[in-house]
Chain A
Amino acid sequence: MSKYIDLSILEIHALYKEKKLTPTMLLDEVFERIEKEKDLNCFITICKEEAYSDAKRLEQEEVRGLLWGIPIAIKDNIVTKNIRTTCASKMLEHFLPIYDATVIEKIKKEGLLIVGKMNMDEFAMGSTSETSYFGPPKNPWNLSFITGGSSGGSAACVAARITPLALGSDTGGSIRQPASYTGIVGMKPTYGRVSRYGLIAFASSLDQIGPMTRTVYENALLLNVIAGHDEKDLTSSTEPVEDFTAFIGKDVQHLKIGIPSYLVSDVVSDEVRCVFENVVSLLKENGNTVELVDISYLEQAVSLYQVIAMGEASSNLARFDGIRYGYRTDNANSVDELYEKTRSEGFGEEVKRRIMVGSSLLSSSKAKIYYDKALSIRDDMRSSFLQAFEKYDLLIAPTTTTKAYSLGQGLDDPLKSFMDDVLVIPANMAGLPALNLPAGFHEQLPIGIQIIGAPFKEATMYQLASFLEEKLALDLEGGVHHDEI
């Protein structure tokens, strides 16, 4: 017998309304699974007490929206008042935020239940979640494989059906890439669609919070809750928030779809190409136009991304100095020693490397030829994408170049984490919405494809994604091995 937690959110909602199920009952199942799936190492902090007390409070009131009483997991770089938020770093191991991120305020208001803070790459820097101070999370499909990253804990949690929903963040693919490796739906919304207030910044002009879920529909439901303008984030858009589920279930047959040619070039492995081509055939069979399209500078997107992401990161992470919060070295006799030792002891390797490179790129002798140049080319790249959207409704591409690989495989290569993200980085560079949809398997590991939209076209992306989801009808329960029968 399957558990309540495995039901769709619509079914759970109906049971809540009929008073046949309570949030507390659902939480019992969630915490039972958390216990069973300890080996996944996907939680950094489990919020059992808080979740039950929130559930008790909900039970005093009437059932509200569809996400009322639904358990959710939060990536540990989104600050939660009075729940420690670590960014998977020794630097913030004991950090207790004194405010809630805007997305947290929103999900609390909607009645979602936060069950824990999820493992990730340290400060979201990495592509496997192995840079976590708390050790790597494991891929539910195969425990010796990576989850991808940086939102690896959130991805593993949903893939293992511990919670139906999770929040991740995506700076250079950190939602979509692990979603692809673990067989779940992950959306990086348009830059500005979701408030970044309370998201511990990695690269401010690239970061975006987004939903990670079992299905397309549930993904859209969660985006409905977290999207919208926020006065506290000047980069959050005033674009009206439509109902993102509006087009779900509508037929898809006259779409013009582009494939950025570099994203299907020889950087992509055969296993991924095979899955992707299947999707392309499916689309064509159903009366859609699918063509290759050239987008400028995608070949150099990773290098450009490195300049911008590391440059911004070096400045964003300067605040971790052991003074106002966070780790502080024990033996500092001067201000400089305080900084250098605190940061040397508090940050892990990947983070230190990126901060150093970023500091160097912004220095006066280099800023013009690296940073300023990267921003200019970025502007051209965005224009090129926007031009493509004049002709195409949506773009599609593979999400990852390969399927998930085994833990420890890329650890010695400082470039590996960037190369893993070569297909997902362009959307961040251009500020575009992009979504991962599970599209097939290779050797029992899931592989996803990416749908990229014009700014604020998330609803259309969900329409295509749900259409494919239905046609592909994949069995994504392979990541579930709870032995609960």
Chain B
Amino acid sequence: MEKLSVEEVKHIAHLARIAVTEEEIEKYRVSLAKLFEMIDQIHLIEGYNDDMMFSPCEEEAILRKDEIGDMLKEDEVLLNAPHKNGKFIEVPVMLNE
């Protein structure tokens, strides 16, 4: 089994938005590679059909009537938020907007 490169681990960690230390990177180079190796067994399968089963649910979606239902009170919206500011939930300033 070939280990993942440091760059690969960093790229994947960033995709998942998970900070990794140098030490962790070394660990993931092996453990993620093991998982990928196992997953690669699906390449042994050939000649499957093209219907994608994204859910075992065979019924079509039942659409909802356009009606307004119960909404949260403002304090409920904020209840679990770690940082709030007045009526708002607060985050570090968003750039790139």
Q: Does A336 contact B (CB under 8 A)?
A: yes
B17 near A300 with CB under 8 A, answer no
15 A-B pairs within 8 Å (CB atoms) are namely A192-B56, A235-B57, A306-B38, A307-B39, A323-B83, A323-B89, A323-B91, A324-B80, A343-B18, A355-B18, A356-B32, A360-B15, A376-B48, A376-B49, A431-B57
Q: Does B68 contact A (CB under 8 A)?
A: no
A379 near B49 with CB under 8 A, answer yes
Number of B positions contacting A (CB below 8 A): 50
CA distance A164 to B67 in the complex (A): 41
Interface, chain B (partner A; CB < 8 A): 12-20, 28, 31-32, 34-36, 38-45, 48-57, 59, 61-62, 64, 72, 76, 79-83, 89, 91-95
Most chain A beta-carbon neighbours within 10 Å: one of B15, B18, B49, B83: B18
CA distance A304 to B59 in the complex (A): 23
B64 near A380 with CB under 8 A, answer no
Contacting residues, chain A, for B41 (C-beta < 8 A): 300, 303
Instruction: Give A354 Cβ to nearest chain B Cβ, in Å.
Output: 8
Q: Does A98 contact B (CB under 8 A)?
A: yes
Contacting residues, chain A, for B16 (C-beta < 8 A): 314, 343, 352, 355-356, 358-359
Q: Other CB < 8 Å A-B pairs besides A378-B53, A379-B52, 18 of them?
A: A205-B54, A231-B62, A235-B55, A303-B41, A318-B17, A323-B82, A323-B89, A325-B81, A334-B95, A336-B17, A340-B13, A340-B18, A353-B28, A353-B31, A356-B28, A377-B45, A377-B48, A415-B34
CA distance A19 to B51 in the complex (A): 58
Contacting residues, chain A, for B55 (C-beta < 8 A): 191, 204-205, 235
Number of A positions contacting B (CB below 8 A): 69
> What does the 1/0 interface line of A378-394 toward B look like (CB < 8 Å)?
11101000000000000
Q: Does A96 contact B (CB under 8 A)?
A: yes
Residue of B nearest to A320 (CB): B17
Interface, chain A (partner B; CB < 8 A): 95-96, 98, 191-192, 204-205, 231, 234-235, 237-238, 297, 300, 302-304, 306-307, 314, 318, 321-328, 332-341, 343-344, 347, 352-353, 355-361, 363, 369-370, 372-380, 382, 414-415, 418, 430-431
A237 near B72 with CB under 8 A, answer no
Contacting residues, chain B, for A300 (C-beta < 8 A): 41-42, 44-45
CA distance A357 to B16 in the complex (A): 9
Contacting residues, chain B, for A237 (C-beta < 8 A): 57, 59
Residue of B nearest to A322 (CB): B82
CA distance A318 to B16 in the complex (A): 8
Contacting residues, chain B, for A325 (C-beta < 8 A): 80-82
B79 near A98 with CB under 8 A, answer yes
CA distance A324 to B81 in the complex (A): 4
B80 near A96 with CB under 8 A, answer yes
The residue that B56 contacts in the complex, of A314, A318, A377, A431, with Cβ under 8 A, is A431
B54 near A375 with CB under 8 A, answer yes
Residue of B nearest to A362 (CB): B15
A340 near B19 with CB under 8 A, answer yes
A307 near B42 with CB under 8 A, answer yes
B92 near A337 with CB under 8 A, answer yes
The residue that B80 contacts in the complex, of A326, A340, A357, with Cβ under 8 A, is A326
The residue that A192 contacts in the complex, of B32, B52, B57, B94, with Cβ under 8 A, is B57
A234 near B92 with CB under 8 A, answer no
Most chain A beta-carbon neighbours within 10 Å: one of B31, B32, B95: B31
CA distance A380 to B46 in the complex (A): 12
Residue of B nearest to A412 (CB): B31
Most chain B beta-carbon neighbours within 10 Å: one of A238, A325, A430: A325
Contacting residues, chain B, for A318 (C-beta < 8 A): 17
Residue of B nearest to A235 (CB): B57
B49 near A373 with CB under 8 A, answer no
CA distance A374 to B52 in the complex (A): 8
Residue of B nearest to A376 (CB): B48
CA distance A431 to B57 in the complex (A): 8
Contacting residues, chain A, for B31 (C-beta < 8 A): 353, 414
CA distance A373 to B51 in the complex (A): 9
Instruction: Give B26 Cβ to nearest chain A Cβ, in Å.
Output: 14
Residue of A nearest to B8 (CB): A360
B53 near A379 with CB under 8 A, answer yes
Most chain A beta-carbon neighbours within 10 Å: one of B41, B61, B91, B92: B91
A191 near B32 with CB under 8 A, answer no
